[in-house]
Amino acid sequence: MKIAVEEGQDKALLEDGQQPVTITAIDEGESEYKGIPFFAVRFENEQGYVSHRFYQSQAGMPAIISLFKEAGIEAQSEKELDTKQLMGKQLTIEVGERAYNDPQTGNERTLKQAINFLAS
């Protein structure tokens, strides 16, 4: 089997704590269990990367609005935000771990995430 490695895939996950990063990729999808739309942002610097999903739900909107605001894009009522505007934006994030129960198995899982976005 041949496995292609794309640029940036050889990087490690970022260490916990504040990290200056650039947004290098945005993917869109739906959650596996409830079909909630999301976009996943890849935050990257020379030391590594972390990806974070932003769910388009009532509970997820504060994080989405905060991300856009700190990236210099103001959210306005009755206007749509375009995730493409985030590409290449630089900001500081806090990297940490979050534990949750896997809905399929009930087992606890841990993932790295980005929180507390700050303008650079």
Q: What is the pLDDT of residues 70-103, one digit of tens each?
A: 999 998 888 899 999 999 999 999 999 888 787 7
Q: Sign of dihedral through CA atoms 60, 63, 65, 71?
A: negative
Per-residue model confidence (pLDDT) at position 2? 74
Q: Where are the domains positioned within the chain?
A: 17-119
Helix (H, G, I), strand (E, B) or coil at 45: strand
% pLDDT > 90, the chain: 66
pTM of the model: 0.84
- Residue 20: closest CA among 42, 46, 41, 51: 46
55 contacts: CB under 8 Å, gap ≥ 6 = 31, 36, 37, 38
Per-residue model confidence (pLDDT) at position 77? 86
Please indicate whether residue 2 or residue 16 has the higher confidence score (pLDDT): 16
Per-residue model confidence (pLDDT) at position 110? 81
Average pLDDT, the chain: 90
Class of domain 17-119: mainly beta
